[in-house]
Amino acid sequence: MLRTPRKLTLLLSIGVLVASLGAVACNDDDDDGGAATPTTAAATTPAPSGTTAAGAIDISGVDELSDGSLDIGSDIAYAPIEFLDESNTPVGLDIDLANALAEALGVEAKFNNGAFDGLLGALDAERYDVIMSAMTASDERKQQVDFVEYFNAGSGIIVASGNPKTVATADDLCGLKVAVQEGTVQVDFLLGPEGEPGGQDQKCKDAGKDGIEVLRFPTDPEAVQALLAGQADAEMADFPVAAYSASQNEGEIDLIPNYQIEPAPYGIALRKSSAELNAVLQEAFDQIVADGTYDEILTKWNLEAGRLD
């Protein structure tokens, strides 16, 4: 079942966020693209202290968990939400939250790395139990899958250092080349949902301005690299990710400060046929919120401003 949408309360302070993300060691989003062959990446980051004892939630009758594991599809290249550290181990907000949820359920979280725009198709084909990959729980996606919502984030914009194109808002992207990751909500924002062309590009044209040339890349780091190489005038990603990219490339790219586009919840995506799994995941999430584990993980990654209230 779908949860009632929550009030969006994300108010990120870029001064705090960028400084904090710079200290982090060392990665939304289309429906039916071809899935890359997933590489199993078992998450080994331990859940923070305070996690409820394993097995506290009754998972009998949940077919997806009968093998003792929660198999998760994810594009693990979206720091600080999910990415691979120097030892090629998955780390990040989603990894820690998934481990905490799995511990509450008495199972093991197993991450499978795949291309973002193929994740929903792979979920439908039952290659994973769920998707946890900074996926925005958009109305369009809710027609295909159900979500357990867990975090809030809007889109951010990064530009070349010094902001030579003087971008302050999305309205300033008219006539520019903008790099994005394929399959994300940023594509939908710029060009309109699939089958419904429009978006910011059409808004520019309706105002008598040049449209936006959208450069699509398989991963967010590739989109950032296009900006660094001068192939794009700007890059768009989820705000925490855009802020992290700016902090990791200080002096080369800047984040447009204090500006977020359409904040919305991230969600764990499930097949609509997975009602029992949905129910126990929601119970596990409520449990880690109540026992303080959720806040502890947000604090670890300096992402408290994205707390879902």
Tens of pLDDT, residues 68-112: 999 999 999 999 999 999 999 999 999 999 999 999 999 999 999
Whether the CB-CB separation of 136 and 149 falls below 8 Å is answered with no
For the full predicted model, state whether its pTM sits above 0.85. no
The partner residues of 265 in beta bridges, in order of sequence, read 152
Is the backbone of residue 192 left (phi > 0), alpha (psi -120 to 50) or beta?
Answer: left
Q: Do domains 14-153+265-306 and 154-262 have the same CATH topology?
A: yes
The pLDDT of residue 298 is above 50: yes
What CATH number labels 14-153+265-306?
3.40.190.10
> Pick the residue with more confidence: 276 or 194?
276
The partner residues of 90 in beta bridges, in order of sequence, read 84
Question: What mean pLDDT value characterizes the chain?
Answer: 86
154-262 falls under which CATH superfamily? Periplasmic binding protein-like II (3.40.190.10)
CA atoms in the 13 A half-sphere facing the CB of 137: 23
User: Do β-strands 213-217 and 177-181 pair in parallel, antiparallel, or remain unpaired?
Assistant: parallel
Characterize 99-130 residue by residue with b for buried, 16 or more Cβ atoms within 10 angstroms of its Cβ, and e for exposed: bbbbbbbbbbbbbbbbbbbbbbbbbbeebbbb
Cβ atoms < 10 Å from Cβ of 150:
25
Instruction: Report the candidate in 138, 125, 135 with the shortest Cα–Cα distance to residue 82.
Output: 135
Residue 194's pLDDT is 78
Q: How far is CA 178 from the centre of its chain?
A: 19
The pLDDT of residue 33 is above 70: no
Residue 270's pLDDT is 98
Sequence ranges of the domains in the chain: 14-153+265-306, 154-262
**Long-range CB contacts (within 8 A, 24+) of 185-188:** 185/28, 185/29, 185/136, 185/138, 185/155, 185/262, 185/264, 186/28, 186/155, 186/236, 186/237, 187/30, 187/214, 187/216, 188/138, 188/140
pLDDT, mean of residues 278-283: 98
Task: Output the CA angle 144-114-187, nearest 5 degrees.
Answer: 60
- Strand, helix or coil for residue 130: strand
User: Do β-strands 83-84 and 90-91 pair in parallel, antiparallel, or remain unpaired?
Assistant: antiparallel
Quote the percentage of the chain above a pLDDT of 70: 82
Q: How confident is the model at residue 286 (pLDDT cuts 50, 70, 90)?
A: very high
